[in-house]
Chains A and B, each alone.
Chain A
Amino acid sequence: MNKRLSIFFSMLLVLSMFLAACSGGGDNADGGEKGGDDGGKSDVPQELRVNINTEPPSLNPGLAQDSTSGTVLRNVLEGLTRIGPDGKPEKAMAEDIKVSEDGKTYTFTIRDAKWSNDDPVTAKDFEYAWKWALDPANNSTYAYQLYYIEGAEAFNTGKGEKDAVGVKAIDDKTLEVKLVNPTPYFEELTAFYTYLPVNSKIAEANPKWATDAGENFTTNGPFHMVEWSHSDKIVLEKSKTYWDAETVKLDSIEMVMINDPNTELSMFDNGELDWAGAPTGALPTDAMQALKDEGRLVTQPIAGIYNYKFNTTVEPFNNVNIRKAFAHAINRQELIDNILQGEQLPAMAIVPPSMFEENEKGYFPDNDVEKAKEYLQKGLEELGYKDASELPAVALSYNTSEAHQKIAQAIQDMWKQNLGVEVTLDNAEWNVYLDKLDQMDYQVARLGWLGDFNDAINFLEMYRDADGGNNNTGWESKEFQDLLAKSATETDPEARQQLLKDAEAIFMEAMPVAPIYFYTNNWVQAENLKDVAVSGLGDVQYKWAHFE
């Protein structure tokens, strides 16, 4: 009796500790923080705290190849243009841009601007940076972003000379760029991080200039990096030498590196961060619905697509009707409402609606089960099967992640319900997975694609050649190739747009890929934080941001 009683009391003791913790201050969850809402505007500290998830792999614009590095670079350096808050490129380091008649020669006049160490920004800084990235000795993995420039690809792949690259500083203020083809989006490209300038005086003297904050890391953008504590945080301060410094209102930006969505949201709720979620961080998927219900969630579509690719070289997906059947038998809206919960857009086309507006509706209706059954019947006949059960075993592959798994399970179920096809799931670790796709060792596989710049070619060109590195489907078409080739030399923007649309139509008719949904960015932000610019590609800029 005595013994039992003591067990009972001990359990009670422990339990009470938990309960005490639970009941402690249950309702000050989102009070506080907003002290003095109506005070004078200038009293609010202009100090932004954001999460950038991880250590940026490189802050040398020639070596950067990921969005984290891009986020930091875009805010500390400035290219010839900068994407404005309206999503259009505006003149930045370039004061004037002249394009030749044939659209292949650009002449940029550099404005009077200074690096943070008071060196002037010159045309040579651009020439130096671009050629440095292209130099095969520097092993830049993103150098192909510069292949629009004449002679760039040849130099980068070791087949050409450095001097043959079509970028030249005529004098300190004039930069001449010769392109391979007229490239209507070239102005926008010059805002991309691979095109950012580098202070050539410093970089020539010290090749390791970009490894730490300090006097070697000179900047010409709205902010200057004052601290880079690796894997921990980066601190930016308003630049004193920036040409447009009066537009910049934030005094400092602290970029912490927290790689856990739950912690990120907790820190935001606790007032330790001013922003949680995309594009620099991530929100926990479980929290989406609650945030939406509270009206705190901000959603913005971005140019990106989540695809299921078919291996068109093996049965049954070598048959176009089978591919169409599988693509039609997916209820995308249901996936979005129940699994993704981020207000994504169902994709029944391959180019995001921000580039082709009519793609909001796409080429076929979502969840068209009747049509899917018809296609399946036709496909089965063509392949010589009597019934769906005779089809070779179909496996759906994805890289190991909870989100991909949930989607795959739902689609597996839809295909079973709608088509009567048994599909097995097959997941692999990311690197192993990419290897499998490369070797075409799959039947249906998920892959995402995010646009690098705001042009439809970005979403089409990877399917040009069956053996292209990013095609992965084994599909190619002469007609499709011809249209893309024509679009490359077409100087009239309207006509070019039409050529690309025609190419997309051919692609959708062959359906080597079942598009699933277009990406959105979801985040929460401090109520008094205004004018953070997130572009249609999901690039974030703090130049105009401020607290009220």
Chain B
Amino acid sequence: MAKYIGKRLVYMLLSLWMIVTATFFFMRIAPGNPFASEKKLPPEIEANLNAHFGLDKPWYEQYWEYLVRIVNWDFGPSFKYKSQTVNDLINEGFPVSFLLGMEAIFIAVAVGVLLGIIAALKHNRWPDYTAMIVAVLGISVPSFIMASFLQYFLAIKMGIFPVARWESFMHSVLPAVALASAPMAFIARLTRSSMLEVLANDYIKTAKSKGLSRGVITVKHTIRNALLPVVTYMGPLTAGILTGSFVIERIFGIPGLGAHFVTSINNRDYTVIMGVTVFYSILLLVSILLVDIAYGIIDPRIKLAGGKKGE
């Protein structure tokens, strides 16, 4: 196990280095610079700024400096937001996105799994169709439409929730639901199909013939096995949702991390682009590793070390 994790960590560092390198070069190839604006700067000032931020150095020096910065976890100042460093942006934005994301994941998993189970157990009867129609809507309605829809009906028309902003728990409900709707639908469909598959297995018949109660069969034998694909999906989902959604955060005016992924690129805010990319990559890589470890716990058939086959 330890050997396996060690090996995975080495691969993670390697992937991270590749991501950082690719980002660095793509970002520099893109035309434009952080100081471009409709009102052009006098050339002397622009040269001065380039020198200050080290943009006049040869690319390999800048590249090396970036690597050193990442290792030290100090991404430097933002080009655009002069009152904050990139570390500030991440430290302030991430907890907000994290909280919202956890709420959304909770909704997505709880409702999604529940819908999937109901649909599978009542296969081809009305609860199945209802659950699946909800799921199709959840997947096919884009999140920004879902968001505006929720705002219009639940906030403006019914006045149950505030329209936007990030102040209290009530403020977080609508964005969390909007954020959760697509993954919730996806999870519902995943759970349903894998439940159906598992229900057709011989060991379920065996369990039935042993005289086990329906509840025990469902909980102990079916759900546990049927959740494997859901767990797989949880890795990228967690990383994606926890780092915030640009669209949802924008519509609900939430001061999370999501906005920086897009605006930093528009602003050519090099340090922020690098910072959020590295941060996101680490989160993604770690959550994928956690998922792989979780496999072994849920399904004893999967051996992480995989040494038996004699590689």
Contact B36 A434 (CB under 8 A): yes
Contact B42 A469 (CB under 8 A): yes
Interface string of A470-491 (1 = CB under 8 A from B): 1000000000000000000000
**Partner-binding segment picked from A56-64, A244-252, A287-295, A524-532:** A56-64
Contact A57 B80 (CB under 8 A): yes
Contact B33 A431 (CB under 8 A): yes
Known: A29-B156, A266-B151. A431 touches B31 (CB 8 A): yes
Contact A14 B266 (CB under 8 A): no
Chain A residues within an 8 Å CB radius of B137: 14
B17 at interface by CB-CB < 8 Å: no
A431 CB to closest chain B CB, in angstroms?
3
B215 CB to closest chain A CB, in angstroms?
25
A153 CB to closest chain B CB, in angstroms?
8
Chain B residues within an 8 Å CB radius of A13: 126, 130
Bound complex: CA A386 to CA B276 (Å): 57
**Partner-binding segment picked from A3-11, A165-173, A351-359:** A3-11
Bound complex: CA A231 to CA B91 (Å): 12
Contact B81 A434 (CB under 8 A): no
Chain A residues within an 8 Å CB radius of B93: 231
**Partner-binding segment picked from B199-207, B226-234, B235-243, B249-257:** B249-257
Contact B163 A263 (CB under 8 A): yes
Known: A257-B253, A432-B32, A470-B40. A11 touches B165 (CB 8 A): no
Contact A266 B164 (CB under 8 A): yes
Known: A231-B92, A262-B148. A6 touches B164 (CB 8 A): no
Chain B residues within an 8 Å CB radius of A470: 38-40
B57 CB to closest chain A CB, in angstroms?
16
Contact A270 B126 (CB under 8 A): no
Task: Tell me which residues from 72 to 86 in chain B have a Cβ below 8 Å from any Cβ of chain A.
Answer: 80-84
Task: Tell me which residues from 16 to 40 in chain A have a Cβ below 8 Å from any Cβ of chain B.
Answer: 21-22, 24-26, 28-29
A240 CB to closest chain B CB, in angstroms?
25
Contact B164 A7 (CB under 8 A): no
B65 CB to closest chain A CB, in angstroms?
18
Contact of B163 among A6, A59, A266, A434 (CB under 8 A): A266
Contact B49 A141 (CB under 8 A): yes
A269 at interface by CB-CB < 8 Å: yes
Contact A230 B38 (CB under 8 A): no
Known: A139-B52, A230-B88, A267-B163. A157 touches B133 (CB 8 A): no
B21 CB to closest chain A CB, in angstroms?
22
CB closest residue in chain A, given B79: A57
B124 at interface by CB-CB < 8 Å: yes
Interface residues on B, range: 35 or more
Chain A residues within an 8 Å CB radius of B153: 21-22, 24
Chain A residues within an 8 Å CB radius of B32: 429-432, 434-435
Known: A58-B82, A60-B82, A230-B88. A256 touches B253 (CB 8 A): yes
Interface string of B111-130 (1 = CB under 8 A from A): 00000000000001111011
Bound complex: CA A438 to CA B38 (Å): 11
Bound complex: CA A266 to CA B266 (Å): 26
Chain B residues within an 8 Å CB radius of A60: 82-83
Bound complex: CA A13 to CA B130 (Å): 7
CB closest residue in chain A, given B81: A57
Chain A residues within an 8 Å CB radius of B2: none
CB closest residue in chain B, given A141: B41
Interface string of B28-52 (1 = CB under 8 A from A): 0011110111111111110011001
Contact of B253 among A28, A65, A258 (CB under 8 A): A258
B268 at interface by CB-CB < 8 Å: yes
Task: Tell me which residues from 422 to 447 in chain A have a Cβ below 8 Å from any Cβ of chain B.
Answer: 429-432, 434-436, 438, 447
Chain B residues within an 8 Å CB radius of A55: 81
Bound complex: CA A436 to CA B164 (Å): 38
Bound complex: CA A267 to CA B159 (Å): 11
Contact B41 A469 (CB under 8 A): yes
Contact of A139 among B37, B48, B83 (CB under 8 A): B48
Chain B residues within an 8 Å CB radius of A233: 165
Contact A432 B38 (CB under 8 A): no
Chain B residues within an 8 Å CB radius of A158: 44, 48
Bound complex: CA A302 to CA B125 (Å): 63
Contact of B48 among A136, A272, A448 (CB under 8 A): A136
Interface string of A411-429 (1 = CB under 8 A from B): 0000000000000000001
Bound complex: CA A165 to CA B82 (Å): 26
Contact A229 B38 (CB under 8 A): no
Contact A267 B164 (CB under 8 A): yes
Contact B255 A448 (CB under 8 A): no
B59 at interface by CB-CB < 8 Å: no
Task: Tell me which residues from 186 to 238 in chain A have a Cβ below 8 Å from any Cβ of chain B.
Answer: 210-212, 229-233
Bound complex: CA A93 to CA B164 (Å): 39
Which of B's residues lie within 8 Å of A, judged by CB? 30-33, 35-45, 48-49, 52, 80-84, 88-89, 92-93, 124-127, 129-130, 133-134, 137, 148, 151-159, 162-166, 250-253, 255, 259, 266, 268
Some 28 contacts from A to B, beta carbons below 8 A apart, are A10-B133, A11-B133, A13-B126, A14-B130, A14-B134, A22-B153, A57-B81, A57-B82, A59-B83, A60-B83, A136-B45, A136-B48, A231-B259, A256-B253, A257-B253, A258-B165, A258-B253, A260-B250, A262-B148, A263-B151, A263-B164, A270-B155, A272-B163, A434-B38, A435-B31, A447-B38, A449-B38, A470-B39
